Amino acid sequence: MKLLLKEYDLGFLSAQCDGIEFHMFRSDDSLSYISCIACLCENASDIITHWRAIQGFVSVHYQPKGNLASWNLYLAYVTTQKLSLWQKYEIENNKFSARKVVLDGCSEMPTPDQLAVELEKQLLGSDLTLDSRVNEPREALLSLEEFVRGAPLDQKVESKEKRASMINNIIEFLNKDENQKS
């Protein structure tokens, strides 16, 4: 899946927030629809001032239909300045109308193409790689079946003692196995 820059009239946002540039990105996969409105501004103070208003305007003017719509919509706030850790936390953990991402401290304001690549990393995990050890043979995991098969399930004293003995056997086996690995 990729995020593609889409022509979309975001005039409802531009009219309310001077000095902030807006771009729309949408996934190219119709089965897993994701959209992201990127809000680019030089000054971090503009993000702090306008992020709540932006999410409100988006919820009124853009919000896709459906029960999980807010989980398919992202607002990405991008700035060359740094936000405080608390400000970033507050924005990213606010779940009203959309999920939010803050990309702060950029060396320069990204182009839409550069932003698409960075958003793919942030939202889709495109920079993640599979561990090369995934296909290596692994040691068989402990099967508890041999330790618990035939465990009595009633409340008799003898049954409780039998279950306690089974648990002790498992613990001893695990301790022995762990000591051999050390």
Q: Find where tokens 């029960």 sit.
A: 67
- Better-scored residue on pLDDT, 145 or 91: 91
Q: Residue 70 pLDDT more than 80? A: no
- What pLDDT shows up at residue 16? 84
pLDDT at 37: 92
HEC string of the chain?
Answer: CCEEEECCCCHHHHCCCCCCEEEEEEECCCCCCCEEEEEECCCHHHHHHHHHHHHHHHHHHCCCCCCCHHHCEEEEEECCCCCCHHHHHHHHCCCCCCEEEEECCCCCCCCHHHHHHHHHHHHHCCCCCCCHHHHCCCCCCCCCHHHHCCCCCCCCHHHHHHHHHHHHHHHHHHHHHHHHHC
Name the more confident of 14 and 46: 46
- Would the pLDDT of 67 be above 60? no
Mean pLDDT of 1-13: 80
Structure tokens at 89: 């936390």
The pair of structure tokens assigned to 156 is 């008799």
Judge whether residue 175 has pLDDT over 70. yes
126 burial class (0-12, 13-18, 19+ CB within 10 angstroms)? middle
Residue 139's pLDDT is what?
61
Query: For the domain 3-127, what is the CATH code?
Result: 3.30.300
Instruction: Calculate mean pLDDT across residues 155-166.
Output: 91
* pLDDT, average across residues 152-175: 88
Q: Give the mean pLDDT of 38-57.
A: 93
**Mean pLDDT of the 140-146 span:** 66
Closest CA to 45 of 82, 96, 99: 82
pTM: 0.67
* Average pLDDT rounded to a whole number, residues 124-136: 69
pLDDT score at 83 = 95
**Band of residue 32 on the pLDDT scale cut at 50, 70, 90:** low
